[in-house]
Amino acid sequence: MIKGANRLQTVEEYYFSKKLRDINLMIASGKPVINLGIGSPDLQPPQKVLDALTESLSRSTAHKYQSYQGLPELREAMASFYKEHFKVSLSPKTEILPLIGSKEGIMHISMAYLNAGDHVLVPNPGYPTYSAVTKLLGAIPVFYDLKQENNWLPDIMRLEKSDLSKVKIMWISYPHMPTGAHADYKYFEELVAFAKRNDILLVNDNPYSFILNDTPKSILKVSGAKDVCLELNSLSKTFNMAGWRVGMVLGNSNHISNILKVKSNMDSGMFYGIQKGAVEALKCSKLWYLSLNSVYEQRRQLIWKLATALNCTYDEKATGLFVWAKIPEYFKSDEFTEVVLKNYQLFIAPGHIFGSNGEGYVRFSLCAHSEEIEEAIARIK
């Protein structure tokens, strides 16, 4: 029997990977399950993105290996996107690296900076990949609390009192997944100062800035942030291109070249047509964002109704692709979602999968048609 590596014992199969198998079995057995569990956009990418991909296929260079750093045109489009939407100037030559999705960036950044035994500050609740990748590399996740009473922001004073001597990376993600909470620029400044004082690489994972949010922010806008910060961004949610796998990491040239050292040993570039499509997406006008958000706005109204019908409460000021809702006190989040799945064939994500502070909450995705959400409400009533 060939044994897997020890690192396999540090992680479990991703919750959604397991759960979606069960859901698909339910569907195959005739149960009409409505999936409000995952954040995989169901809307179409912009038409000009699809056209660019189609047109690219006949180019003689389209099917060759592509540059490890991505097409210059793509990096330039990413730089213009950051300039236009975040007012952040970045050199397309040295401060931007296209990624095959921002999820892989979490691994590349971690591989570029972590040694076994290093500590990593990870949000609780937060995206499970930060801690999984940390553990796979033999480093140690140190969870920091995010609580509703603190608007889901880290308590910097409290963090500063802890032993930070082994901390190498701190992950943040604002607008926050799963809660939809925001950090303002004053708070970003405090976080950057904290990272500088403690020699920590602060990474803002920022895929949700354009969903139901009028004020997209980048940590890199803070003066001096490039010294200690990186930002991840993604086309998955903003342009409905989750399956295309296009993300980016942005920061100073030293950090970017360290990450490229890892990444160029792991993949051999991104398909040409995908890069051409991504360029078109990044050039979208305000109209794109308006039309995308008008759909999500309508869906969110319905999800709020659904949450209320399930006796859940939520913050109307939260943004992003999800509604994060508090469940009735007498339930654990797992019990609650199982009851909802069994009684109404409605799949929502239990909050505990994002960390212990997610217990008592559930996450509804906006990635379902209004008709499906209306059907879900009807089932409960």
Ligand X SMILES: Cc1ncc(COP(=O)(O)O)c(C=O)c1O
What mask of x and - would describe binding to ligand X in positions 88 to 107, judged by CB under 6 A?
A: -------------xxx----
Query: One symbol per residue from 310 to 349: x for binding ligand X (CB under 6 A), - otherwise; what is it?
Result: ----------------------------------------
**24-63: which residues touch ligand X (CB under 6 A)?**
39
Measured between alpha carbons, how far apart are the two ends of the chain, in Å?
53
The SS3 of residue 231 is: strand
- Least Å distance, CB 145 to ligand X, is 18
Q: What is each CA distance from 178 to 78, 124, 143, 219, 277, in whole angstroms?
A: 26, 10, 15, 19, 28
Q: Does 236 bind ligand X (CB under 6 A)?
A: yes
Q: Which is nearer to ligand X, 164 or 368 (CB)?
A: 368
Q: Which of 46, 123, 247, 360 binds ligand X (CB under 6 A)?
A: 247
177 sits near ligand X (criterion: CB under 6 A): yes
* Shortest separation between residue 129's beta carbon and ligand X, angstroms: 7
Contact assessment for residue 248 and residue 98, using Cβ atoms and an 8 Å cutoff: yes
Burial class of residue 117, CB neighbours in 10 A (0-12, 13-18, 19+): exposed
**Residue 368 interacts with ligand X (CB under 6 A)?**
no
Q: Taking CB under 6 A as the rule, does residue 173 contact ligand X?
A: yes
String of contacts with ligand X for each residue 116-155, x by CB under 6 A:
-----------x----------------------------
Size of the site for ligand X (CB under 6 A): 13
Among residues 120, 246, 101, the alpha carbon closest in space to that of 172 is found at 120
Convert 172-188 to b/e letters by CB count within 10 Å (16 or more is b): bbbbbbbbbbbbeeebb
Q: Which long-range contacts (C-beta less than 8 Å, at least 24 apart) are formed by 329-332?
A: 329/360, 332/359, 332/360
Binding residues vs ligand X (CB under 6 A): 39, 101-103, 127, 173, 177, 205, 207, 234, 236, 242, 247
